[in-house]
Amino acid sequence: MQKITTYLWFDDQAEEAATFYTSVFADSRIVEVQRQHGPAGPVMMVTFDLAGQRFLALNGGPQFAFTEAISLYVDCESQGEVDELWARLTEGGEESQCGWLKDRWGLSWQIVPRVLPELLADPDPARAERAMKAMMGMQKIDIRALEEAAGR
């Protein structure tokens, strides 16, 4: 078992969310579904892996909701991967700025192409600033537009 595991609190949609998330990411699976009061009881907790990372999802009730104070950062290799994840995760959710979105349960995600941190850390401060300015005007990150803005 990994040393630190992300624990997600849902009202009563833990199994639905885990099933959705594991359908979105390769190398993902539901590991275990724990139920209250025996095998026919309501779902209490779901253990699942996303791209090899372990998560726990609890049906804890409506007392707590997700905020932007925590997000899941997804490193994407290509524009195609950015586009696919953006489309899937915004289904029933909402787009935000700079590669951020909220899924249908209100969990925040950052869908970030691998080239973005490279562009923002360019040794030429003017190129890095142009990339930053371009990113600030985007919702979903557009690699080509970033590279053009940076002058790459």
Could you report the per-residue pLDDT of 47-96, keeping only the tens digit for each? Answer: 999 999 999 999 999 999 999 999 999 999 999 999 999 999 999 999 99
pLDDT at residue number 70: 96
3-state secondary structure 97-117: CCCEEECCCCCEEEEEECHHH
For the segment 12-34, the average pLDDT, to the nearest whole number, is: 97
pLDDT at residue number 152: 79
Residue range 83-102, pLDDT digits in tens: 999 999 999 999 999 999 99
Mean pLDDT over each residue of the chain, to the nearest integer: 96
For a pLDDT cut of 70, what percent of the chain falls above it?
99
pLDDT at residue number 39: 85
pLDDT at residue number 64: 96
Residue with tokens 């909220």: 102
Q: With bands split at pLDDT 50, 70 and 90, how would you rate the model's confidence at 2? A: confident
Instruction: Parse the chain into domains and list their residue ranges.
Output: 1-64, 66-152
pLDDT at residue number 81: 98
Query: 1-64 maps to which CATH number?
Result: 3.10.180.10
pLDDT at residue number 32: 97
pTM for the full predicted model: 0.93
Q: Which CATH number fits domain 66-152: 3.30.110.70, 1.10.10.60, 3.10.180.10, 3.40.640.10?
A: 3.10.180.10
Residue 1 has pLDDT above 80, yes or no: no
Residue with tokens 């639905």: 16
Relative to beta strand 108-113, strand 71-76 is parallel
Residue range 112-128, pLDDT digits in tens: 999 999 999 999 999 99
- Domain 1-64 identical in fold to domain 66-152: yes
